[in-house]
Amino acid sequence: MERIYFDHAATTPMKEEVLDAMMPYFTENYGNPSSVYNIAQVNRKAVDDSRASIAEILGARPNEIFFTSGGTEADNWAIRGIAARKGRKGNHIITTKVEHHAVLHTCEYLERHGYEVTYLDVDEYGLVTAEQVEAAIKDTTILISVMYANNEIGTIMPIKEIGEVAKKHDIPFHTDAVQAIGQERINVDELNVDLLSLSGHKINGPKGMGILYIRRGTRLCPLIHGGAQERGRRGGTENVPGIVGLAKALELTYADFDNKNRKIREMRDYLIDGILKEVPYARLNGHREKRLANNLNISFEFVEGESLLLLLDMEGIAASSGSACTSGSLDASHVMLAIGLPHEKAHGSIRITLGETNTMEEADKLLEKLPAIVQRMRDMSPLYEDFINNKK
């Protein structure tokens, strides 16, 4: 069966060019970049060049780019690194209710260890405002962490405005840009961010590789102590192929960006319009415009998301309901609840996230299959039965 992959927010296939770039560093140029001898020089250079290329793309300096084992580590480091700083002026952190678990669970951990965290409410589209952030600031606020774009509903936050508030109050500002990086052009200075997290595997790059951008002058403790790698701020022998692959993936992301971005956005809109037209009792979650180019998230009343996914999967279509990372959990997504969906609708949402290799034929196949699948599940649903009976 021909397989259609519509879950690019969960992870993406690594591009052949990325693998090609990594290949020389697996078995051939294997030296430890920290070593003095000749054969290690090519590895050190590969790491330096990768760092420089990434810095340029983000509008940063090379020594502001730190490699991590993924977006999750970058989020943890940013938050706990600031929190652990000695001589800090307080213990208060501002974040939102819709952050990724990498941020939320880290904040909850800190709460158990004597920190105070404000989780800002979002509106029905999943948005916070810069005013909300400003209103939450206290004398003791040491960090503001607001995600660039939500991984479930694709809502894009007003990062630039929040950055201005943070700057005005001289509070370090972190943004989790893991989902945004493939869909938005990012410049750290324009955004006024001090800390920014990225992940490789969301942009057709390697898994287990991420970045924390740390603005010069931002003081934070290491999360992973060890050797002198990453200028003493993140220990561990460098994953050279991973670093090279990540830099390559980022370069490729921004090659012909506008063109690819426009196409994906068009496909997204085609699918949103098509699904809402073909399937009754469906609603789009998230904001219509302030939305990642590749994300659509739709709730189908009376049915449960996992069953829809399984039936879609039987048709060869891979999608997701909520965050793939949390599929082990039984609770409805915290994001769905935060935007005010009642539980049964929260459970009945599916997320489609597009990639640059998806085609209009694939979009049409989804539009062809989805209405019947939803109807099939509704025919089995006691909630739908009640609804129909009440209408009669």
Partner 1 sequence: MYSEKVMDHFSNPRNVGEIEDASGVGQVGNAKCGDIMKMYLNIEDNIVKEAKFKTFGCGAAIATSSMATELVVGKTVEEAIKITNKAVTEALDGLPPVKVHCSCLAEEALQAALWDYATKNGLEFEGLEEPKEDDHHHD
Ligand X SMILES: Cc1ncc(COP(=O)(O)O)c(C=O)c1O
- Say how far residue 64 (Cα) sits from the centre of its chain: 21
Hey, is 42 helix, strand or coil?
A: helix
- Of 51-59, 114-122, 237-245, 284-292, which segment contacts a copy of itself by CB under 8 A? 237-245
- Of 214-222, 254-262, 303-311, 365-373, which segment contacts partner 1 by CB under 8 A? 303-311
Contacts (CB under 6 A) with ligand X, residues 44-73: 70-72
Contacts (CB under 6 A) with ligand X, residues 315-344: 325
107 is catalytic: no
Of 19, 215, 383, 387, the one binding partner 1 (CB under 8 A) is 383
- Report d(CA 33, CA 46) in Å as an integer: 9
Query: Residues 6 or more apart from 357 whose CB is under 8 A from it?
Result: none
Of 329, 342, 343, 368, the one binding a copy of itself (CB under 8 A) is 329
Q: Which residue's CB atom is positioned nearest to ligand X? A: 71
Query: Is there binding between residue 153 and ligand X (CB under 6 A)?
Result: no
Q: Are 145 and 94 in contact (CB under 8 A)?
A: yes
Between 23 and 52, CB nearer to partner 1: 52
**Segment holding 221, helix H or strand E:** none
**Token pair for residue 227?**
């050797």
Query: Is there binding between residue 380 and partner 1 (CB under 8 A)?
Result: yes
Query: Is there binding between residue 90 and a copy of itself (CB under 8 A)?
Result: no
Query: Is there binding between residue 343 and partner 1 (CB under 8 A)?
Result: yes
Between 178 and 275, CB nearer to ligand X: 178
Query: Residues 6 or more apart from 256 whose CB is under 8 A from it?
Result: none
- Long-range contacts, stretch 266-272, CB < 8 angstroms, 24+ apart: 267/354, 267/358, 267/360, 267/363, 268/293, 268/294, 268/295, 268/296, 268/354, 270/360, 270/363, 271/296, 271/352, 271/363, 271/366, 271/367, 272/296, 272/298
Measuring CA to CA, which residue among 234, 178, 237, 244 is closest to residue 206? 244
Query: Is there binding between residue 72 and a copy of itself (CB under 8 A)?
Result: yes
Q: Are 40 and 28 in contact (CB under 8 A)?
A: no
β-pairing, 282-284 with 295-300? antiparallel
Query: Is there binding between residue 344 and partner 1 (CB under 8 A)?
Result: yes
Hey, is 77 helix, strand or coil?
A: helix
Between 259 and 329, CB nearer to partner 1: 329
- Report d(CA 175, CA 198) in Å as an integer: 9
Annotated catalytic residue, options 40, 42, 137, 325:
325
Between 281 and 384, CB nearer to partner 1: 384
Of 134, 164, 304, 315, the one binding partner 1 (CB under 8 A) is 304
Q: Which does 26 bind (CB under 5 to 8 A by kind): ligand X, partner 1, a copy of itself, none?
A: a copy of itself
Q: Are 14 and 205 in contact (CB under 8 A)?
A: yes
Contacts (CB under 8 A) with partner 1, residues 10-39: 36
Of 91, 132, 179, 321, the one binding ligand X (CB under 6 A) is 179
Query: Is there binding between residue 314 and partner 1 (CB under 8 A)?
Result: yes
List active site positions.
325
List residues near ligand X by CB under 6 A: 70-72, 75, 100, 102, 147, 151, 176, 178-179, 199, 201, 210, 236-237, 325
